[in-house]
A = this chain, B = another copy of it.
């Protein structure tokens, strides 16, 4: 199928066959149900209609009719499980003809997935709205397709969570992993231990009613909610209210900086397990999902090493090192989690062979660690390679596969223990304002990796469809576009915003590591600079790279000229960004000089080459925590001047 003729479906379905003709939509969408019926299906259909309305700018209305007159016929065999199960059937079949669309699925989960596909099929010309005929048979490759969101380091209000759950549903993700506690904040109301949220959150926490509301919201969209409460490390915020849980005497304060910190729970105290029993019991009742994430990562161990009674305990129990002590702790916690009816999940570090096989490992370390777990009989999901704060482009994230490298060599049975993966949104460098722009649209490409057949991996097709999904997420209420505009307006402070946008469109924020080293960040540092507005995967740089590849001289020159002349137009740019802007202008000028040589079919002097290469080398470096994304393309143009002279 030609790329341009491909409908903008993402994730790409397991089987797709185009048909003949189009099903027209509007001004009313007549919908009929057959088989199992429930209010939530009707609600989902009403949401679909309202999303078509927004997407197409029409006032489409839903009408529920008998099946013969239906433009959209929905057939569902049976109800869903009362609590969404890992591996519950999500398959569906969607057949669209010029007369009717028929969506069938074993249960409402498949209907929800199929409705998203139906929406993505719609061709939004300005006036005539229609769905192209097609037959789609679809089901996911992996049963666990998650988005992890850290709400501790920066607070994310309920509306942020909900709109991201909408985004997840749009690309058929099915697990919302809610990272609810960390050193920098404890984010859930505990009625049993109220000092957790009262003293550990700056007042920024979800009430239990809000949690229930989010869970119901997610369930309506076919998404499980897995809570994470990180123990025994990353737990400073617990210790503000309950210092007696710690391995060293308090008092403790909410941590404001980023990193791995000393405060750790004391695994030697029975009172710690009594506390966790009470707390996990309360949370297990609040969160219906069958899984419960205990974190377990990055225990620093200094408090353990420095504690006389802990060292004595370790000797007494023949625990030879901190790792063994943590394994002891995990085993105790696992028993508590099981007692409250849940399966335990944790990061790589929790794996030790005496734990029961029903736990799930979330790997931040990679396919190797996942493969080892699978060989030992443990299930796991991949998160390594899907860290959004590493600011890789979608093309890189897209190619990471849970079943490649070490895990590719597993037996089929072992492979079945690789349940899928989770995208991770750590929140050191995101706020409610710009978090959507870090998550979207890149997460949609990863969602395709989790859902679509493994062989679907054409990057050009992915980007074409990703651009469409990105626009459509905007209609859904995600703010990755609108916040970008608003943040640039703020930075422009009343001056024309356009030259700032020209600059911002081709710079990318540095990743977590370099940012930490460049600037002294705390939780209170405003995230309102150019680096915070700039987006991870410059679309303009990507499009420019394509123009360079096909040597589209007119358009290349147009961009280069624009960049060269941009710095002169920028007023009141924050001081730290001035060198970035000057570099961009210089890159434009260098590119234009290169084009002159290329078009005159003339070799540049050696000194010119040397000079430009030195400049480009320098321009690759971080400035104001930003990278200029067009440097490789300018480098290509400079290199192209050295091509053999044509006659």
Contact = CB atoms under 8 A, between A and B. Distances in A.
A126 B485 contact: no
Interface string A544-577: 0000000000000000000000000000001000
A27 interface: yes
30 contacts: A8-B494, A27-B524, A55-B490, A56-B490, A56-B528, A57-B431, A57-B487, A57-B526, A57-B527, A57-B528, A57-B532, A58-B526, A59-B154, A59-B155, A59-B431, A59-B524, A124-B490, A125-B493, A126-B490, A126-B493, A126-B526, A126-B528, A467-B494, A471-B489, A474-B489, A475-B486, A481-B486, A481-B489, A482-B485, A482-B486
A512 interface: no
A306 to B, nearest CB: 33
Contacts of A61: 202
Contact of A528 (B58, B490, B524): B58
A58 B493 CA distance: 15
Contacts of A431: 57, 59
Nearest to A522: B27
A54 interface: yes
Contacts of A526: 56-59, 126-127
Interface in A112-129: 124-127
Contacts of A471: 489-490, 494
A95 interface: no
Nearest to A8: B494
Nearest to A572: B125
A271 B295 CA distance: 72
Contacts of A485: 481-482, 485
Contacts of A491: 126
Contacts of A523: 59
A531 to B, nearest CB: 11
Interface string A470-499: 010011000001100111011101100000
A262 B56 CA distance: 34
Nearest to A484: B485
A529 interface: yes
Contacts of A474: 486, 489
Interface residues of A, number: 41
A202 to B, nearest CB: 7
A433 interface: yes
Given A57-B526, A127-B526, A127-B528, 14 more contacts: A56-B490, A57-B528, A61-B202, A124-B493, A126-B490, A126-B529, A127-B574, A468-B494, A471-B490, A474-B486, A474-B489, A481-B485, A481-B489, A482-B486
A613 B281 CA distance: 82
A54 to B, nearest CB: 7
A588 to B, nearest CB: 15
Interface centre among A155, A489, A527, A529 (most CB of B within 10 A): A489
A57 B124 contact: no
Contacts of A154: 59
A127 to B, nearest CB: 7
9 interchain residue pairs of minimum CB distance: A57-B528, A58-B526, A482-B482, A27-B524, A126-B574, A471-B489, A57-B526, A474-B486, A126-B528
Interface in A37-60: 54-59
Contacts of A126: 490-491, 493, 526, 528-529, 574
Interface centre among A486, A523, A527 (most CB of B within 10 A): A486
